Amino acid sequence: MDKIITNLQQDQGSFAAALQIDQITKILNIYSKIDLTTFPGTSGVAFDSHAKEHNTQCHPDT
């Protein structure tokens, strides 16, 4: 009985790993289809940039 449980646990681990690989592949495919340069207003913008943090045109919550 212990051998059966051990085998089932190993199979469960294999299935979990296969599902993770499948999910990661799908996520990477989605990311490869998104072209951030086509988004309006993203030209020259860096994440968490403070270059213009005191610009009065910035949203107050940024």
| Per-residue pLDDT tens digits for 15-37 | 999 999 999 999 988 888 887 66
Instruction: Centre a 10 Å sphere on the Cβ of residue 58 and count the other Cβ atoms it contains.
Output: 10
Rounded to whole angstroms, how far apart are CA atoms 5 and 7?
5
Phi, psi angle pair for 54, to nearest 5°? -100, 10
Per-residue model confidence (pLDDT) at position 33 = 81
pTM: 0.43
First to last CA, the chain: 60
Band (13; pLDDT cuts 50, 70, 90): very high
What backbone torsions phi and psi does residue 45 show, to the nearest 5 degrees? -100, 130
